[in-house]
Amino acid sequence: MRVVLFILLWFNFFGCTIIGQTKLPIKDEIHKLTSRATKLRQSGDFEKSLLVSRLALRKSIAIRDNALIAENYNNVAANYNDLVEFDKAIFYYNKALNYANFTQNDTIKQRVNNNLGNVYCFEKKRYEKGIQYYRKALQYSEKIKDSAQMAFTNLNITWAFFDIGRFNEGEKSLKMINSYYQKHHNDLIIVILNMLNGMYYNFKNQDEQAKLYFEEAIRLGKKLNEKSDLSFSHLEYSKFLLKRKEYKKAYENLELYTKLNDEIYAEEKLEKANVQGINLELDEYKRTIDKIENEKVLQYQSLKKSRIIVLLFIIAIFVLLLFLNSLIKNNKFRLKANADLMAANKELIIANQKAEESSILKTQFVSTISHELRTPLYGVVGIADLLLEEHKELASSPHLNSLKFSARYLLSLVNDILQINKIEENKIILENFTFNLADEFYMIKNSLSFISQKNNNDVHIKVDPSIPESLIGDKLRFAQILMNLVSNALKFTKNGEVYIVAKQLEVQGKMHSIEIKVADTGIGIAPLDQEKIFDKFVQVGRKEVDYQGTGLGLPIVKRLLELFGSEITVESQIGKGTTFTFCINFECNEVRTIEIINNIQIDLTSSQVFNVLIVEDNRINQLITKKIIEKNNYSCVVVDDGFKALEILEKEEFDVILMDINMPLMNGFETSRRIREKGMETPIIALTAFDKNEISEEAIRSGINDIIIKPFEAIQLFKIINCLILKTKSVV
């Protein structure tokens, strides 16, 4: 009887334990948490909202409910959007959209697309991309027949069109929202709706009607306590008053806008919420810890098999001893052979010296030619951009577009030649960055969208979910490999499919072995040509169509993969497509990743007007750089050489100096050195056509803070200018 009771108690205790351990959260519980997190965010308590969202996200992942996962990622992204961390907001909105696309839930798809449209239009100022998301959101709204969401999205798209001055395109959406409000009287949109009507009538120069709408928007904003909508109403009203030269009222409304913004984005809320934001990101990486621990257990078990390895080692030593006797007998023969080799070695040394001299001359020649080509290319690209900005009617000119394409094509050729030269000279050292594999794939897809659209191709991305979200490696070289492979696939495929696939093969410690495939359904490569495609300047498949290119893309891919310790294979059939495959190892280290995340700096563009000194001897380059600077509302002064720069710096103070390197009389290095000798701490940025690696050491010694290679993107220049100026002022 006692034995029976003991067995019953044992099953009762351990059965309850097992049931307790396997109990999963229910959906109603997660819905309540999600709703609570949303209300906390709407009330401005971002810290608690992120905390509750993290808990809801864990439970959603535990039950593998893609709709709930998408809902909570959307909530996390909305918090970051309110916290003015827009890059993180976009990252989590995209994760929400990925999970939403696995479901049939068109409501969450509509909301995430609408939110992405808001970020790109009103925060990133990338209106075209934002409007695309709005239109996708409208499609889902029509599908689910949600008139309220359709009204909100139409409100946003109207606002976006009005912001960029395209009032005629936004007029249709505005009429639709006015019609909706007359039927439903939705107080959530009434403030912004009145503001948009005011903007529209202001555009139509119907001032009295515009004024009535603006004042009604402000009145309702105060009544309904809609601080955000009220602040924008004050801002747009101030613009209207400024147009009517009512400066005092305009200033008062602008001051009210600033005050409301300060209340909405109080620093105390931001600092408190930052801690929970970091904890949320930590959860993303902690999900891989269990897998790593399991691997450690397997590694420990494998150590037990080391005895076999020791035994094999002893056998190998015995075999080596047998060979030793043979080596002694052959020693005399080697001595004689060495004497012959010494004589041959002297000849090889002489030949090697000549080869090294030839290599140095080749490197110098490539560097000189690239510099001489980049300088006029900067002028060609810059002048083409200026023509498009100053003469909008030329935007559709095939001649101007052909000029820009040809210049950028020539620049790409110069960069390819430099790249292959660096690889052959062993001047490339792999670096370590933290990156997300899926993000890199989508970046490549977006960068090459013009080729895929031109050839009517669809690009599909498949990423193994077991691959960690954060990897460490040289993402720039990896992206270059992918860019070459995907661009080739798109160029040699028409009306077809291109696939970018990543699959995790194995994990050893912190190293993850990942197989990458780039496949297409294009024209294919003949078996005889497959052995040639990795040779420099070799191109195949041009019998019927001119696909263009330098013939350096695949050779660069092969040599970069050799730096990663990998190799590439190709499988292809004529008329059926081509598949390139390679395996690459990346590290996953949560400690290093967290350090990098904690050190992320948010680029807050200053509204202050900076004074810039441009030191440049080339007249065309002077004109282009000055136009770029003044376009950003900075003031600038241009001088022809280093001596004039030193003279003006004695009389006038500047926030930053843009320094050309290759100048007559006194070059940029010597000019920078003399500026530092005078005790001036003004940031100096080298604008040069030289390759960055060639001048980095000399630039550091002469006191130059950073280097930008011409031609460059304007946004890159202003980001570096703002960063250096703010850093200098914070030190002072």
Least confident of 92-96, 125-129, 543-547, 605-609: 543-547
List the domain boundaries for the chain.
351-424, 433-539+547-598, 611-731
Which residues, 6+ apart, have CB-to-CB distance to 115 below 8 Å? 74, 77, 78, 81, 93
Which residue type occupies 572?
Answer: S
DSSP single-letter state for residue 655: S
pLDDT at 637: 94
Check residues 406 and 468 and name the one with the higher pLDDT. Answer: 468
Indicate the fold that domain 611-731 takes in CATH: Rossmann fold (3.40.50)
| Kind and range of the H or E run holding 657 | strand 656-659
The total of other beta-carbon atoms located within 10 Å of residue 508's CB is 11
Give the chain's length.
732
Average pLDDT of the residues in 284-300: 56
Check residues 63 and 307 and name the one with the higher pLDDT. Answer: 63
pLDDT at 668: 92
Average pLDDT of the residues in 299-328: 80
The total of other beta-carbon atoms located within 10 Å of residue 702's CB is 22
Least confident of 122-131, 260-269, 394-403, 670-679: 394-403
Q: What is the mean pLDDT of the chain?
A: 80
Least confident of 126-135, 251-260, 550-559: 550-559
The CA angle 198-201-206, to the nearest 5 degrees, is 125
Q: Which residues are 687's β-sheet partners?
A: 708
Residue 546 above 80 pLDDT? no
- Per-residue confidence band for 340, with pLDDT thresholds at 50, 70 and 90: confident
pLDDT at 212: 92
The CA angle 279-590-583, to the nearest 5 degrees, is 135
Nearest alpha carbon to residue 558 among 488, 497, 644: 488
Which residues, 6+ apart, have CB-to-CB distance to 237 below 8 Å? 195, 198, 214, 215, 217, 218, 253
Structure token digits, residue 639: 């001088």
How far from the centroid of its chain's Cα atoms is residue 489's Cα? 22
- Per-residue confidence band for 604, with pLDDT thresholds at 50, 70 and 90: very low
Nearest alpha carbon to residue 284 among 500, 439, 165: 439
Phi-psi label, residue 572: left if phi above 0, alpha if psi -120 to 50, beta otherwise:
beta
pLDDT at 357: 65
Kindly give the pairing relationship between strand 611-615 and strand 568-573: unpaired
Alpha helices, H only, 145-265: 147-163, 167-184, 187-203, 207-224, 227-243, 247-264
| Distances from the Cα of 255 to the Cα of 55, 388, 415, 630, 633, angstroms | 40, 36, 50, 27, 22
**Winning range, highest mean pLDDT, from 53-57, 359-363, 539-543:** 53-57
- Spatial distance between the Cα atoms of 710 and 689, rounded to a whole number of angstroms: 5
Residue-wise pLDDT for 270-285, tens only, equals 555 554 555 555 455 4
Q: Which residues are 463's β-sheet partners?
A: 502
pLDDT at 426: 60
Check residues 416 and 492 and name the one with the higher pLDDT. Answer: 492
With H, G, I as helix, E, B as strand and everything else as coil, classify residue 3: helix
Indicate the fold that domain 433-539+547-598 takes in CATH: Heat Shock Protein 90 (3.30.565)
With H, G, I as helix, E, B as strand and everything else as coil, classify residue 472: strand
Residue 287 above 60 pLDDT? no
pLDDT at 280: 58
| Kind and range of the H or E run holding 520 | strand 511-520
Average pLDDT of the residues in 287-304: 60
Average pLDDT of the residues in 599-621: 71
Residue 417 above 80 pLDDT? no
**What pTM was estimated for this model as a whole?**
0.41
Which residue matches tokens 């806008």?
257
Residue-wise pLDDT for 238-251, tens only, equals 989 988 888 888 88
pLDDT at 515: 95
- Spatial distance between the Cα atoms of 192 and 202, rounded to a whole number of angstroms: 15
Check residues 340 and 461 and name the one with the higher pLDDT. Answer: 461
Residue 592 above 50 pLDDT? yes
The total of other beta-carbon atoms located within 10 Å of residue 322's CB is 8
pLDDT at 543: 47
Query: What is the edge-to-edge ordering of all strands in the sheet holding 611-615?
Result: 635-639, 611-615, 656-659, 684-688, 706-709
- Spatial distance between the Cα atoms of 628 and 271, rounded to a whole number of angstroms: 36
Least confident of 565-569, 627-631, 728-732: 728-732
Structure token digits, residue 361: 């001359």
Residue-wise pLDDT for 667-690, tens only, equals 999 999 999 999 898 999 998 877
pLDDT at 17: 43
pLDDT at 289: 45
Residue 330 above 90 pLDDT? no
- Spatial distance between the Cα atoms of 596 and 656, rounded to a whole number of angstroms: 28
Which residue matches tokens 């503001």?
195
Average pLDDT of the residues in 503-524: 92
Instruction: Give φ, ψ of 645 to 5 degrees.
Output: -65, -45
DSSP single-letter state for residue 609: P
Check residues 555 and 520 and name the one with the higher pLDDT. Answer: 520
pLDDT at 413: 60
Residue 46 above 90 pLDDT? no
- Spatial distance between the Cα atoms of 137 and 325, rounded to a whole number of angstroms: 81
* 635 and 612 Cβ atoms separated by less than 8 Å: yes
Burial of 114 (0-12, 13-18, 19+ CB in 10 A): buried
- Spatial distance between the Cα atoms of 497 and 69, rounded to a whole number of angstroms: 30
With H, G, I as helix, E, B as strand and everything else as coil, classify residue 652: coil
Q: Which residues are 508's β-sheet partners?
A: 511
* 705 and 724 Cβ atoms separated by less than 8 Å: yes
- Per-residue confidence band for 568, with pLDDT thresholds at 50, 70 and 90: very high
- Per-residue confidence band for 94, with pLDDT thresholds at 50, 70 and 90: very high
pLDDT at 603: 47
Average pLDDT of the residues in 411-420: 62
Residue 69 above 60 pLDDT? yes
| Distances from the Cα of 299 to the Cα of 287, 302, 304, 409, angstroms | 20, 5, 9, 51
For residues 303, 305, 308, 312, the Cα torsion angle rounded to the nearest 10 degrees is -40
* 402 and 375 Cβ atoms separated by less than 8 Å: no
Taking each helix axis as running N to C, give the angle between helix 127-144 and helix 106-118, from 0 to 180 degrees, rounded to the nearest 10: 160
Which residues, 6+ apart, have CB-to-CB distance to 234 below 8 Å? 218, 253, 254, 256, 257, 260
The total of other beta-carbon atoms located within 10 Å of residue 491's CB is 22
Q: Which residues are 471's β-sheet partners?
A: 435
Residue 594 above 80 pLDDT? no
Residue 427 above 80 pLDDT? no
Q: Which residues are 472's β-sheet partners?
A: 434, 587
- Per-residue confidence band for 728, with pLDDT thresholds at 50, 70 and 90: confident
Average pLDDT of the residues in 350-357: 70
